[in-house]
């Protein structure tokens, strides 16, 4: 069985990665003797790390002593598990026709500049994952955006700043 990962892949320490692995170890320890615990461990790991990159899957496979292919098979089967890092909130700008002509693109440009993030990306502080939506059915409220399940209507760049400040 492998040792607990001692340091972060990216920095010399201080990012909390080590603490996260320690937390995961505790979870794995508590489940270890229970048959079929992989999904519960993956839930906990995603809760701790936010997503399940392949390095993390390798780590879990080692700890549970099961093949990585089995872990990967499960992670890729269930829609709840993500292999891509996501922000705390999902910010979607509608680019349906109505929103497009009413300034949806302006909002996109504004977000790119203000949050320094590309479409499909996640902000550096991991607050938002930024996506473009096809019509969200709020044409009468155009341009509209959605943050998680909340719809905001008649959004202007100025109003957008106010909305984002609330998160």
Partner 1 sequence: MVKKISSLADLELIAKEYGERMSAYEHQILVCAGAGCISCGCGAVRDTVRSTLSELGLDNKAIVKETGCMGTCAVGPVMLLLPERIFYVGLTPENIPSLLKAHFVDGKVVEERTFFDPIQKKYIPGMDDIPFYKEQVRIVLRNCGIVEYGQIESYIADGGGYRAAHKALTSMTPGEVVGEVKASGLRGRGGGGFPTGQKWEAGLNAAGDRKYLVCNADEGDPGAFMDRSVIEGDPHNVIEGMIIGGYAIGATRGFVYIRAEYPIAVERLSAAIAEARDYGLLGDNLFGTDFSFDLEIRIGAGAFVCGEETALMASIEGQRGEPRQKPPFPFQAGLFGKPTIINNVETYANIPSIIDGGAAKFASIGTEKAKGTKVFALAGNIITSGIVEVPIGTKMEDIIYKIGGGILNGKKFKAAQVGGPSGGCITSDNVDVPMDYETLIARSAMMGSGGLIVMDEDTCMVDTARFFLDFVQDESCGKCTACRLGTKRMLEILQRITRGKGRMDDLDTLMELAETVRDSAMCGLGQTSPNPVLSTLRFFREEYEAHVIDKKCPAGVCVHLLSYSINPEKCKGCSACARACPVEAIVGELKKPYVIDRTICVKCGNCMTVCKFGAIVKE
Per rule CB under 8 A, count of chain residues that contact partner 1: 25
Is the alpha carbon torsion for 146, 148, 151, 155 positive or negative?
negative
DSSP per residue, 112-148: HHHHT--TT-B-TTSSEEEEEES--S-GGG-S-EEET
Instruction: Select 71 or 117, whichever has its Cβ closest to partner 1.
Output: 71
SS3 159: helix
Among 139, 146, 147, 151, the residue binding partner 1 under the rule CB under 8 A is 139
Does 152 engage in binding with partner 1 (CB under 8 A)?
no
**36 in contact with partner 1 (CB under 8 A):** yes
- Residue from 8, 17, 20, 39 in contact with partner 1 (CB under 8 A): 39
Instruction: Give the one residue of 17, 20, 25, 37 binding partner 1; rule: CB under 8 A.
Output: 37
Could you say which of 18, 20, 40, 163 contacts partner 1 (CB under 8 A)?
Answer: 40
Q: Is the backbone peptide bond immediately before 75 cis, with ω within 30 degrees of 0?
A: no
CA-nearest of 85, 98, 113, 110 to 144 is 98
Q: Rule CB under 8 A: is residue 167 a binding residue for partner 1?
A: no
Q: Is residue 8 a contact residue for partner 1 (CB under 8 A)?
A: no
Q: How far is 72 from 67, CA to CA, in rounded Å?
A: 9
Identity of the residue, 42 or 93, whose beta carbon is nearer to partner 1 in the bound complex? 42
Q: How far apart are CA 112 and CA 106, in angstroms?
A: 10
Residues that bind partner 1 (CB under 8 A): 34-40, 42-43, 70, 73-74, 77-81, 97-99, 101-102, 139-140, 142
């Amino acid at each position: 069985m492998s040792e607990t990962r001692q340091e972060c892949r990216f920095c010399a320490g201080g990012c909390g990665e080590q603490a996260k692995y320690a937390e995961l170890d505790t979870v794995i320890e508590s489940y270890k003797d229970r048959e079929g615990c992989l999904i519960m461990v993956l839930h906990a790991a995603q809760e701790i790390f936010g997503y399940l990159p392949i390095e993390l899957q390798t780590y879990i496979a080692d700890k549970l002593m099961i093949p990585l292919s089995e872990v990967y098979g499960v992670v890729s089967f269930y829609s709840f598990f993500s292999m891509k890092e996501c922000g705390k909130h999902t910010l979607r700008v509608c680019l349906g026709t109505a929103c497009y002509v009413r300034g949806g693109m302006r909002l996109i440009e504004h977000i790119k500049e203000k949050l320094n993030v590309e479409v499909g990306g996640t902000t550096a502080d991991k607050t938002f994952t930024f996506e473009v939506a096809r019509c969200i059915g709020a044409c009468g409220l155009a341009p509209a955006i959605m943050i998680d399940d909340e719809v905001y209507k008649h959004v202007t760049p100025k109003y957008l700043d106010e909305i984002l400040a609330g998160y």
